Structure 1
Amino acid sequence: MHQTPASTSAPLQRGRILLACILAMFMAAVEVTIVATAMPDIIASLGGFPMLSWVFSVYLLLQAISIPIYGRLADMFGRKPVFFVGTTLFLSGSILCGFASHMPALVLFRALQGLGAGAIVPLTTTIIADVYNQQERARLQGYLSSIWAVSAIIGPLMGAFIVRHYHWSGVFWVNVPLGIISAGLLARYLPAAPSRHDEPSLDVAGITYMILAIGCLLIALLQGDELGRWRVGLLVLSVISAVLLVREQRRIPAPLFPLALWQSKIIVAGNVGGLIIGAAMMGIAAFLPTYIQAVLGGSTIEAGWTLAVMSLGWPLASTLCGRLMIHTSYRLMALCGAILLVTGSLLLLRLDAQSSIAAARLASFVIGLGMGMSNTTFLVSVQNEAPFAIRGIATASTVFTRMVGSALGTAIMGATLNRNLQRRLPGIDDPVQHLIAHHGQSGPGLAHMAQQVAVSMHGVYWISSLIALCALITAGLVPRGLRPRQEG
């Protein structure tokens, strides 16, 4: 039982800490959707359309790279100071983004924002794991998952309202009061961690190799089409850096990724599970709306609601999982989530050009249920297994692997779709855009094109089904009979 100073806090104090974490997590979760809604107005104001993808890519890149670093720093120096550093960077980037006068400046400030965001999600989750006992945190993770569902729905609405009635800069500045309130509550109510005079210095070499390995990999995946031949070089450099990172971690006494992370079957299964869930989630989220609009002839709103259904399934299953996990086991909940994920993926495979949007929404909802149950199980099991001394990096590692999985899933499925479209519809540069532009029209040419796009998308859904099967295999690796314990 890994008791922490915060875990003995009074209920009122713990409630205020929880509120601070909820506000911080909502701030980070809503950032992506609210900015995406405002991008047309931002481009109209600043120009620089060719740099559009970098507005999102640089944020994701810096966030992913910094997550394990913040996790290790939190174990060394305490959650509080590291959270404040991350929040300060995030809010500074948010304020500067609103003042950007051209696209290169916006990309630079988004990098600063992403660098701060790398601390927020893993550390809020870690703080909750410190403050609440094992059974309580199993229930709370279900409630916290609803934050992502709410942000997925509210974010676009907030972005549209701000852009219409104020100015696009407001989508960045809306974060500031949330961040200040969150930091203030934690400063007042979160107990300081005890000093650790025996902690060795930070693994600078390991951090360098990790940045090169993950940075080169993500740049190659996210910007591969623009890099041309340089993409292969980045992938080779990523592999070499990863090999050097592994060697470095085995050599030194205090590595960036402690050996205890890889000696526990639960933590290994949790990290592999996070990677798989990230790949499945982003792959489906990136391509299902396209299927709704281009193949099934749905509107943008109908496509958005299809994703919202998945966002609703996630917290419902996560909340249920948090309650059932206490009375069953990690393994059973992980298997149930993986089975739902496989079922939803098979439902996607049944879609064709004549399918209804309701069928797509059913598949989306079932996949959301599977992801919510699997993700909660893997995260809670890792937090409960990790002792307090490495809980920060253990939690960060699950968030980190999920983000890397998201980039991998999007890149692999995107490459598969493009290859299938080029083979089935040669000579047509962008058949998806052509179908969306002719929404509501009919004719044999459009019907044939929609059918070929549907068949091409099936390659994506086959990959998502294989990923779901990998989740099922990973769930089977979770040791039997383990569940959250009641701590005293």
Structure 2
Amino acid sequence: MSVFRDRRGPILIAIMLSSALMAVDATVLATAVPSIVADLGEFSRYPWLFSGYLLAQAVTVPMFSKLADTYGRKPVILTGIAIFVLGSALAVFAPTMTVLILCRIVQGIGAGAVQPMGQTIAGDIYTVRERAKVQGYLASVWAISSMLGPLIGGLFSQYVSWRWIFVINIPLGLLAAVMVWRNFREHVERTRHRIDIEGALVLTLGLTLLLLGLLEGGEAWAWTSTASLVCFAGGIAALALFVFIERHAAEPVVNLRLLSRRLIVHAVVISAAIGGIVLGLTSFVPTYLERAAGATPVAAGIAVAALTIAWPLASANAGRIYVPHGFRASITLGSSIVMVGTLLLLLVVGQQNIWLIVAVAIVLGSGLGFTAAPNVVAAQSSVGWSERAEVTGLTMFARSAGSAIAVAVYGTISNAIISNGSGDSDPATVVDATTGVFYGVVGAALLLLIAAWTLPKVQGSQDRDT
């Protein structure tokens, strides 16, 4: 670890910048949706802009994490940045909603390589006690970036063009790549391996069919139609086949053996729930504020970005709780606060008051800050170097998959309520749709609370580096 010490500062800045780009892009289109729909049309398909990105990220995270444990972290993160920049460049010129969705999928593939590598590299070059602060920084960057995404999207769509959302990714992505290339050195013993292509393809097929059934059911076809049944039955069958393939694969894309450890199972569930909560807020609150409360894109972005006020403060202080008292203490505290915050959402949604949303966002940010970073550190601390990228990738996969599925479910709820109401131009209908989505967010918070309160007791001082 000492060989990294003189370069750790620049390395940390590089991975913070690259992680920020990925997090921003997961949410940046939220406030730009009205502008994009006005330009490209097809309002009912806009959830695919989020689900397509998150699905691609989810299914590629485990594969890239496995490659990182074999070839090293550096080539994986550089490849991811290159793919992400390519997707951003193509999105600038997207002529239709379908093309834009495809570009988002390319971006998601790049994010699948970059997102887990930042956490993994930090786990490699810092000790557990140092990680308490560093992972707090990374969690704060992810939180701030994902919450600032709607604000940035609002600024571009209101004052310039939504296409500039993708233009800005290109120079920043190249800067991150140069910093990683120049500063990060690692010594990896390369071994022969077999990439689990079959598992990756079947996983992609299964999740795609489920998301297709959720997002298009009740819109493109009836819920009881043959197409709907094929999507859900095919998706479940593909995921069952995926489990079979992984149990017999020499080098599985998702190491299911890790799920034999109770701590890892809880970390996965917690990550999935966090993804569902955050995307529920960032994907639907801005649209609600713009269409129901008459807020500008910038004002809507500010409301959601209020989460960034409390999240980094809580993350920075989480180590003071879990280092002496254990990870469970911090995670249970945070999950309880999140539960309270989501219940408050149901009370304020009908008020159409932007400042009430801001206040609730601050409460939620506090809870998520005490939960997210300790969860990742707990999972990393339970394994050694050879499994750390896999474990980190598994938690990132869970967060991305949870986000993608949650956005699909929320989109289904929203579209169903709007279709049965007066349409998306009616403020009252938008309020009803958002209320339905918030009930879904409460469900995700309940799952988080249960997983946190049943988390095994693991002390923050535990380290498996030796």
Distance in structure 2 (CA, Å) of the matches to 1:167 and 1:356: 27
**What's 1:429 paired with?**
422
Give the superposition deviation at 1:115: 1.8
SS of the residue 2:348 aligns to: coil
Q: What letter corresponds to residue 210 of structure 1 in structure 2?
A: L
Give the superposition deviation at 1:47: 7.0
Inter-CA distance 51–286: structure 2 relative to 1 (3 Å threshold): closer
Unpaired runs of at least 5, structure 1: 1-6, 436-448
* Residue of structure 1 aligned with 2:381, choices 372, 384, 396: 384
Q: More deviation in 85-94 or 14-23?
A: 85-94
- Contact in 2 for aligned 1:97/1:110 (Cα 8 Å): yes
- Contact in 1 for aligned 2:151/2:300 (Cα 8 Å): no
Which structure 2 residues correspond to residues 34-433 of structure 1 after superposition, within 5 A?
A: 34-35=28-29, 54-100=48-94, 104-152=98-146, 155=149, 158-159=152-153, 169-197=163-191, 199-228=192-221, 229=225, 230-289=227-286, 292=289, 301-351=298-348, 353=350, 357-416=354-413, 428-430=421-423, 433=425
Distance in structure 1 (CA, Å) of the matches to 2:214 and 2:365: 25
Cα RMSD, aligned residues only: 3.3
Give the superposition deviation at 1:303: 3.7
Answering whether residue 22 of structure 2 is matched by residue 28 of structure 1, we say yes
1:78-108 Cα deviation digits (max 9, x unpaired): 1111222212211222223334455554444
Q: TM-score, normalised by structure 1?
A: 0.83
Q: More deviation in 159-168 or 300-309?
A: 159-168
- Contact in 2 for aligned 1:222/1:407 (Cα 8 Å): no
* Residue of structure 2 aligned with 1:476, choices 453, 456, 460: 453
- Structure label with greater radius of gyration: 1
- Contact in 1 for aligned 2:214/2:412 (Cα 8 Å): no
SS of the residue 1:350 aligns to: helix
SS of the residue 1:194 aligns to: coil
- Contact in 2 for aligned 1:9/1:131 (Cα 8 Å): no
Inter-CA distance 299–254: structure 2 relative to 1 (3 Å threshold): closer
Q: What letter corresponds to residue 475 of structure 1 in structure 2?
A: A
Q: What letter corresponds to residue 235 of structure 1 in structure 2?
A: F
- Contact in 2 for aligned 1:296/1:353 (Cα 8 Å): no
1:219-264 Cα deviation digits (max 9, x unpaired): 3334444442323312211111111121222223432222441122
Percent identity over the alignment is: 33
Inter-CA distance 108–280: structure 2 relative to 1 (3 Å threshold): closer
- Contact in 2 for aligned 1:344/1:363 (Cα 8 Å): yes
- Contact in 2 for aligned 1:221/1:407 (Cα 8 Å): no
Unpaired runs of at least 5, structure 2: none
Q: What letter corresponds to residue 425 of structure 2 in structure 1?
A: Q
Distance in structure 2 (CA, Å) of the matches to 1:301 and 1:176: 23
Q: TM-score, normalised by structure 2?
A: 0.86
SS of the residue 1:128 aligns to: helix
- Contact in 2 for aligned 1:352/1:455 (Cα 8 Å): no
Give the superposition deviation at 1:459: 4.8
Q: What letter corresponds to residue 109 of structure 1 in structure 2?
A: C
Give the superposition deviation at 1:414: 4.3
